[in-house]
Each structure stands twice: as C-alpha cells, then as structure tokens.
Amino acid sequence: MTERIQTKEKIINVNKTDNGKNDILLIFIHGLTGNYLQMHHFQEHFKENYDTLSYDLSGRGDSSIQSDPTNIHQHTEDLLQLIDSLDYDKFILAGYSMGGYIALDAAAQSDKIQKIVALDGGGVANEDTSNLVIPSLGRLEKSFDSSDDYLEMMKQSYGALGVEWSAVMDQVIKHEIHEVKGAIHPKSDYVLTKQDFESFYDYSHTKIYENIKVPVMLVICTGPIKDNTPLFSKDSYSLMLDTVNDIKSTDYGLNHYEIVFNNNPDLNKVIEKFIEME
C-alpha cells in the first residue's frame, strides 16, 4: 500500500516495505516516463532482506508535479528531501535510466548514501538516445477514448521491445493515466517530461562522478531498441568508468526495457552480491 509523504516542497507518493533484517533502506528510483511500479520486480526480490522504498518521481503517478523549468537536479533535491524525512541513517540507491542520474547526483551530495546501483543510466547520452526517446514522449500529448485504448497501445509498443506482459504491467500502465473531462490522459506533462530528458545533456558528469565516494555498480544494457542500437551505448559510460573512484560494471544482454519490466532473477543475484559486499 502506498502513502504520501510531505517533504519540504512536495508530496511524494511512496511504496515502502518494512520486512528487512538490516538497518539500511534500499530506495528504487524509476525512469523518465515510469512510476514506482516500474521497479516492482526489484523491490519484490529485495524486500525479504531489506527495508525498501520505491516512489513516484514528481510529475509521475500520484506525486506532486515538477516545478517549471525542471531538470534532473530538481528530482535529486526531491530525493534528498525525502531521505531527510525518513528515519534511517543509511541508504542504498538503485536507479534505473533517469533514476541512475538522480542516484549518482544524490550520492555526490549526501554522506548517508552507502552504495549505488546504476541500472543503465547516468552516462553521457548521445544523439541515438534522443532519437529513440523523443518520439516515445509523443503519447504524453494525446488523449484516449478509454483506458483500454491506452493499454492496448502500450501492449503493442512494449511487446515489440521484448517486454513480457503481466498483471504487473497492467498496474504500471493504469498508474500512469487518469481521466480528465471524460477522456484518458497520461498524468505526466509532455513539456516538463521533455525538459527532464533534455537535462540529461546538461548533466555535470565529471563534477558529479568525481564527488562520488561510495561503491558503484553499473549495469550496461547492450540489447538493441531499434536498428541494432541500444538506448545508451557502451561508450556513453566510458567517462563514468574512468572517473568514479570505486566502480564495477557488468554488461547485460537484454535491452533497456526488458531489464526492468521483466523479472530477471540472475541480475537480482548479481546486485545482491554487490550490496552484501563489505
């Protein structure tokens, strides 16, 4: 069950579990157009041994909308304020896609963060990334006659990307839309979401990487999205790998969407091993 937490500036919708045996909170941070349910498979796996939290970034799901103009650093500030509101002294962040950028930015600023897992995010985005992402944002400008129409469109889009449809996917999609004046609309604002994406290219990569003093695990998705092109190239992570002081990377053959929307037990074990290392 979710709850809404009032931070200094916003209301953040969170899904928290308290079954863990550790004094660390593991926070999962979703991607550009996702919501907290995008991190369902990871949270389900790790909640047996850790207290966990996933949340809707501002402008997604049931959290407050972003302030205009928006960028990654606004979402980092949201996360840092959320962390300050929680009764924990130690945190591990697992950020997917845009969530990777946010996690790294937060770790460069807070001494409460113990480790970072960057799930195909946080690198230097290139033109291919823009060419793959911008067209997909077009749905945020549209209205739909019914939630079923929107669901069917997303089934076709994600199905073409290798996503295995499930009841979880139904929940993910349901949480990203609402009814306005008799029509179905995505909750996310197109202009603000596009600003969030464009800030990938203004990210202070070197400065942020240099200020990360904790271990980082980077998962690079090598699977293609379109025309044999992954969302982020391996080269986009070269600066991160060369600059972050303590970083390990692993290549994963699935694409950017399969890694999060499908359940990947082998990957969970790799992440678990990293988290448990002293």
The tens digit of pLDDT for each residue in 37-58 reads 999 999 999 999 999 999 999 9
Q: pLDDT of 61-119, one tens digit each?
A: 999 999 999 999 999 999 999 999 999 999 999 999 999 999 999 999 999 999 999 99
CA distance 21 to 53: 15
Main-chain phi, psi angles of 216, to 5 degrees? -125, 135
How many structural domains are present in the chain? 1
The pLDDT, as a whole number, for residue 211 is 98
pLDDT at 242 over 80: yes
Q: Is residue 229 part of a domain?
A: yes
The pLDDT, as a whole number, for residue 60 is 98
pLDDT at 21 over 80: no
Residues β-bridged to residue 119:
96, 219
The pLDDT, as a whole number, for residue 143 is 97
The pLDDT, as a whole number, for residue 56 is 98
The pLDDT, as a whole number, for residue 1 is 83
Q: Is residue 212 part of a domain?
A: yes
The pLDDT, as a whole number, for residue 38 is 98
The answer to whether the beta carbons of residues 23 and 89 sit under 8 Å apart is yes
Main-chain phi, psi angles of 121, to 5 degrees? -165, 155
Q: Is residue 65 part of a domain?
A: yes
The pLDDT, as a whole number, for residue 20 is 78
The pLDDT, as a whole number, for residue 69 is 98
Single-letter code of the amino acid located at 105: D
If pLDDT is split at 50, 70 and 90, which confidence band does 19 have? confident
Q: Is residue 144 part of a domain?
A: no
Q: pLDDT of 128-187, one tens digit each?
A: 999 999 999 999 999 999 999 999 999 999 999 999 999 999 999 999 999 999 999 999
The pLDDT, as a whole number, for residue 74 is 98
Q: Is residue 220 part of a domain?
A: yes
Q: Is 175 left (phi over 0), alpha (psi -120 to 50) or beta?
A: alpha
Q: Is residue 141 part of a domain?
A: no
Global pTM reads 0.98
- Give the domain range for residue 110: 2-133+196-276
The answer to whether the beta carbons of residues 120 and 231 sit under 8 Å apart is yes
Q: Is residue 160 part of a domain?
A: no
CATH value at residue 68: 3.40.50.1820
Q: Is residue 175 part of a domain?
A: no
